[in-house]
Structures are given as C-alpha cells and as structure tokens.
Amino acid sequence: MRSITLASAPARVGPACLLAFAALLVADSLSAQTLRGRVTEGRTQEPLTDVVVSLLDEDANVLVQTETGPSGGFSLSAPGPGEYYVRAERLSFTTVTDGIFAFASEAGEMSIVLFMLPQPTELDGIDVRIEREQIRRRLRSSGFYERAAMGFGRHIGPDEIERRPIFTFADFLRGIPGVRFEDEAIQFSGGLAGTCTPNIYIDGAQVFQDFGITTLIQPEEVEGIEVYRGVAQTPMEWAGLNGTCGVILIWTKFGGSG
C-alpha cells in the first residue's frame, strides 16, 4: 500500500489579524522610554560626530550604547521605568556624564543637549602624572592644603575625586551633613535659621546660583572643593558679606597657571 501525504494549504492571514499585529507593534513602540539628544562642541556649538553615548544605571553599568551621526544626534531606549545617567565619550574630548533622568511610567521621552570640551590625548601615562602634579601645585598656591590641615570644614581633593564615581556636581557634596540641593541650587540646612544659601567662589571669584550650580561648572572641571558650614568654620579671608551661612570654595583646572 502506498502512503500519500497531503500537503496542507498555506494559512491565510485575514485583515483583522494584520491589524491586530500592527497594533501590537505600535503599542510596543509607545511603551519605550526614549532619551534623544545632541552632542556639540562646548565653545563653538558645532555638532560632534562619532561620539560614543551610553545609557547607565545608578551603579554606572552600561545598558545601551550608540554613536552620534553627522548632526551630533543620538537616541537611547531605556529598558523600563527608573533613574538613568548618560555618558558621552570621544577621543581628545573630556568625557561628559549627565543625569539623573527619571522615567516614572512605561512610556516617555526626554530631549537633552550635551557639551564637550577638547582635551589633549594622554601619551603612555606621562601626561597624566604631569597633570596631577600641576593640579596639586595649583591647589597648594590657593591655600587648599594649608586650610585642610587646620581641620575646619570638609575638603575634597584630587585623590578623593579620582576614587569616587562622579556623575553630576551634586555627587561631590553627597553625604556631607547639612548640605542639600533645592532646584539645582546648593543650600545649607540646620540651626536656628533653618535653610540658608552659602557664598560660592569658583577659583576665588564669587558666583551666584540664579540658574543653578550646574550652569556654572561641570564635574570634569573640578580639582578641589572646600565646604565650610557657618561662620565658625569659615576662614576669615572668605567670610565676606553674608558669610554667616557658610562658604563653598571650588577650584578648577582653569583657575591658575600651574
């Protein structure tokens, strides 16, 4: 007896099935958390191509990575609701990290602009050692180490900065008692006055936080920070007007001749 295999006819997909499949695709795209942005050269505002842009979680793990195109644009999709950072890297430019970007729901989109500054390429670690010595020399000339030895206030030097994961300027001050951020501005809390605004100096020049501290300085520019809460801690030469709240001194790589 011969066995005969009957070929089954190809199944037809009706219009209703196609519409349902298309709806699933649309729903899936709408459920993504998307971070779109553009990377530019900080001084000229020209777009930067071939910049590696990474989406990081709170432990600095890389979740998604892409590169910028001719317009400097990029797009990153977060795996779900949560808080994320964005890091931009390119040879001969300072690495920039920005965040926190919080997605609270299953669908959302944010737009950002990242600014990168040129930086000479380091050769065989020699430039690194030279730069570290220049940093220490600038901090010594500013009196940073002398004031730190007196035991007043909180001092964050280059060695601590290298060890700590710094994403935003707020990370420098995280964990210091009585220091808080409100609307991107630094505040001191505690005492009879409640909350007050300290005087802030960058490389010896007083600045004001009208639009937040992040508009004044980027984390990669910082070489040292001094935090003095209240008049009792504040060195006499930095007390100035309204010095009763306290003072924050910020020293940068652009602040001296080295």
What domains does the chain contain, in order, with CATH numbers? 28-116 (2.60.40.10), 126-252 (2.170.130.10)
Give me 32's structure tokens: 């993504």
What confidence score (pLDDT) does residue 192 get?
61
DSSP code, position 170: H
Residue 231, CA atoms < 13 Å, CB-side half-sphere: 6
At residue 24, the pLDDT reads 34
Closest to 51 in 3D by CA, of 41, 59, 43:
41
Residue 201 has pLDDT above 60, yes or no: yes
Lowest-confidence pick of 3-7, 51-55, 63-67:
3-7
pLDDT for res 4: 33
Highest mean pLDDT among 104-108, 183-187, 247-251: 247-251
Residue 82 zone, left/alpha/beta (φ > 0; ψ -120 to 50; rest): left
Which residues in 92-126 are b (16+ Cβ under 10 Å) and which e?
ebbebbbbebebeeeebebeeebbbeeeeeeeeee
Q: What is the model's pLDDT at position 38?
A: 94
Question: Which pLDDT band, with edges at 50, 70 and 90, does 102 fall under?
Answer: confident
> For position 97, what pLDDT does the model report?
87
Using a pLDDT cut of 70, give the percent of the chain over it.
Answer: 78
pLDDT of residue 3: 37
Higher local confidence (pLDDT), 220 or 214: 220
The terminus-to-terminus CA distance of the chain in angstroms comes to 98
pLDDT of residue 126: 60
pLDDT value of residue 182: 79
Average pLDDT over residues 181-194: 77
Segment 202-206 mean pLDDT: 90
pTM here is 0.51
Give, for 18, the enclosing helix (H) or strand (E): helix 15-30
Residue reference for tokens 């199944």: 11
| Integer Cα distance of 156 and 216 in angstroms | 19
Mean pLDDT of 190-204: 81
3-state secondary structure of 136: helix
Q: Is the pLDDT of residue 108 over 80?
A: no
Summary mean pLDDT of the chain? 79
pLDDT for position 242 = 67
pLDDT at 185: 84
The amino acid that residue 253 corresponds to is K
Categorize the per-residue pLDDT at 191 as very low, low, confident or very high, splitting at 50, 70 and 90.
Answer: low
Amino acid letter for position 113: V
Section 227-231 average pLDDT: 90
Q: How many CB atoms lie within 10 A of CB 162?
A: 9
Radius of gyration of the chain (CA): 26
- pLDDT at res. 257: 47
Q: How far apart are CA 22 and CA 7, in angstroms?
A: 30
| Beta bridge partner(s), residue 224 | 251
